[in-house]
Amino acid sequence: MSSLETQSRNAAAQVISVRPVTLPAPTRGADLQVRITAPAAGGNLAVIVFAHGFGQSMSAGDPLVDHWTANGFVVVQPTFLDSTTLGLTPNDPRYPTIWQTRVDDLEHVIDDLDTIIAAVPGLTGRVDTGRLAAAGHSWGGQSIGMLLGARVIGADGQPGEDRTDKRVKAGVLLSTTGISRGDLTPFAQQNFAFMSPDFTQLTTPSIVIAGDHDQSPLSTRGPDWFTDVYHHSPGAQHLVTLSGGEHTLGGIQDYTSTATTDESPERVDLVRRTTTAFLQKALGISEAAWAEVTASSHEPAGRIDSK
């Protein structure tokens, strides 16, 4: 067991998790499977819908999920069609529109929150679904960004469909791809052309987390690409830049993942503390939370900027 996992479990309140909760989705080609994790006690619990990155699943993000639930949040995690657990290939006719299906899946989850909550014994009546946040990592950040107000620039150079969901009151954008100014790599242009966001209508209060060593293979720009949403959206209020952080932000996707290239319990801890405090303030849970987390003038793991 890693030191990060030990710290998290020692600090965590008792939680209960159910998976899969299966939501019928007849037009999707496969039913939508979801994991829900919640504190075993307490009421008026806020909800975070968490979107995983490319190829991952509802099992991703435990270092964050454990911390959020220990601090009184219910976390709901869908598995998207790009997950390696489902085995879709680029030859599947659904593949070109997976980025849109991801947003459809998130809407499906929000629409059916009561059904998902009812899958956890004793949870119904303890959740305040009006306190709803959405968080996402990497491709998940792009998916969540659309619920917050971001739009995709189409072939005509104009912002596409508006998928803003006003039920979402706050956002967490982790390693989220930035604006394309013709600097996507040829591979990205061919396979991920939708990674061309417009952030001007992203007005939902949000926090952005980026690593200052995150060099994406999808862009010819440097790590600043992942800070675009902070600089170009009116809703992004804070930017946490992790010193030495790469795409997995110190290891937020799993406790023991071999995909982590910048393992750092200190970076993960800063992500957990800042996102939790931001959501507590943004959702009206604790006005003092953000002030407390920013009280220190020096964070060895990174820097916090605010507008």
Query: Tens-of-pLDDT digits for all 307 residues of the chain?
Result: 344 444 444 445 799 999 999 999 999 999 999 999 999 999 999 999 999 999 999 999 999 999 999 999 999 999 999 999 999 998 999 999 999 999 999 999 999 999 999 999 999 999 999 999 999 999 999 999 999 999 999 989 999 999 999 999 999 999 999 998 888 999 998 888 899 999 999 999 999 999 999 999 999 999 999 999 999 999 999 999 999 999 999 999 999 888 889 999 999 999 999 999 999 999 999 999 999 998 876 789 999 999 9
Alpha carbon distance 252, 246 (integer Å): 11
Q: What is the pTM of this model?
A: 0.94
Backbone torsions φ then ψ of 6, nearest 5 degrees: -60, -45
CA distances to 25, 50, 173, 197 from 45, in Å: 27, 16, 21, 32
Alpha carbon distance 301, 248 (integer Å): 14
Which residue in this structure is represented by tokens 């507590």? 280
Sketch out the chain's domains with CATH numbers. Answer: 3-306 (3.40.50.1820)
Count of C-beta atoms within a 10 Å radius of residue 223: 21
Contact 134, 202 (CB under 8 A): no
